[in-house]
Amino acid sequence: MREILSKIAEVDYYVRWFSSQHDLGMWPSRRVGGTAEFEAIAEYQLGDNPRSINWSATARTGFFRILKNTRLTNTNLAVFLLVDLSPSMDFGTVRVTKRRLAAEISAVLAHAAWRCGDRLGFIGYGSEVEVEWPLRHPKDYRLLVPQKVLETKLNGAGPSGLGPALLRLPAKKALVFLISDFQEDLGEIERAIKSIARLHDFVPIVLWDPRERMLPAKRCITVLKDLETGREKMVWLGGTRRNDSLQQKAKAREHHLKELFRSLCWEALWIDQETHFVKEISQFFLARRRLIR
């Protein structure tokens, strides 16, 4: 846990919608009122409000200039962490397992919610909903969420618990981080996601390992274990044909997921153990902030 907490860094997140709940935190708002923060002086474009023309800047440049301001109001966001706790998350060949990576990302996002004064909820699922913590101010969740992700070990196989986990989300709009390796049946994933996709602002974080896309170059006979079912099988590793087949299946699965996310207007993050995920998450939301403005 100490190593995970040492990796915590400040991350800012931004939503596509504007919250109507008044409490803590400062977020952009379409509503008139509140405070206005200066953003930039820009050239007047057709359709801009003539009342926003800054005549001092116009006199200096000879062209119409306007003041761009971002209106701010006090709001409180509901942030949910949906974390996959299935046995496949125990796979890892590079630095850490995908479960440990999920715990590190959860710690960073929980700290971000605490720093912004937002409420945080946590749902962990495997073949069913295993952990469900209600929305609350995340002073304690910063430590408890990554610890729970690490210590929850599930056995056996079954249908994906993603659908029941999504149904536990509140009716009011929330920012939902869905952290998973998405190794379940693609049909089940699609049915579960489409049933609730339009109600919240989802950010899928797809965790993957390099060995899921490429076999070792050295040829050998080894015993592989399916983490989901627990079954073991002796297989022959190596050979161009077998490696090409694995790469094609991995690319097809990745393409299917990307097309699914694109159809729902979701932007996903693809993170492996060697990815600087704090930088990736920061750049992701920085791009979203520019798009909103």
- pLDDT tens for 96-109 read 889 999 998 998 88
Per-residue pLDDT at 18 exceeds 60 = no
- 47-55 average pLDDT score: 77
Q: pLDDT value at position 7?
A: 58
Crossing angle (nearest 10°) for helices 240-263 and 186-194:
10
Going by C-alpha positions, the residue among 117, 156, 154 that lies closest to residue 137 is 117
Is 272 or 65 the better-scoring residue by pLDDT?
272
Q: What per-residue confidence (pLDDT) applies to 19? A: 40
Q: Is 247 helix (H, G, I), strand (E, B) or coil?
A: helix
The pLDDT tens digits for 117-170 are: 888 999 999 888 889 998 888 777 878 888 899 888 776 566 678 889 999 998
Across 6-10, 127-131, 160-164, 256-260, the highest mean pLDDT is recorded for 256-260
The more confidently predicted of residues 291 and 79 is 79
Say what the pLDDT of residue 29 is: 46
Phi, psi at 121, each rounded to 5°? -125, 155
| Residue 5 in this model has a pLDDT that exceeds 70 | no
Does residue 10 register a pLDDT over 70?
no
CA separation, residue 66 to residues 46, 72, 169, 289, 292 (Å)? 12, 19, 42, 21, 19
Structural Rg of the chain based on CA atoms: 23
**Is 197 in contact with 167 (CB distance < 8 Å)?**
no
pLDDT at 34: 47
Domains in the chain, please, with CATH? 2-15+75-209+265-292 (3.40.50.410), 30-74 (no CATH)
| Average pLDDT in the chain | 78
Q: What span, in angstroms and rounded, lies between the C-alpha atoms of 239 and 255?
A: 24
51, burial (CB in 10 Å: exposed 0-12, middle 13-18, buried 19+): exposed
Q: Read off the pLDDT of residues 173-182 as tens digits, 9 standing for 90 and up.
A: 888 999 998 8
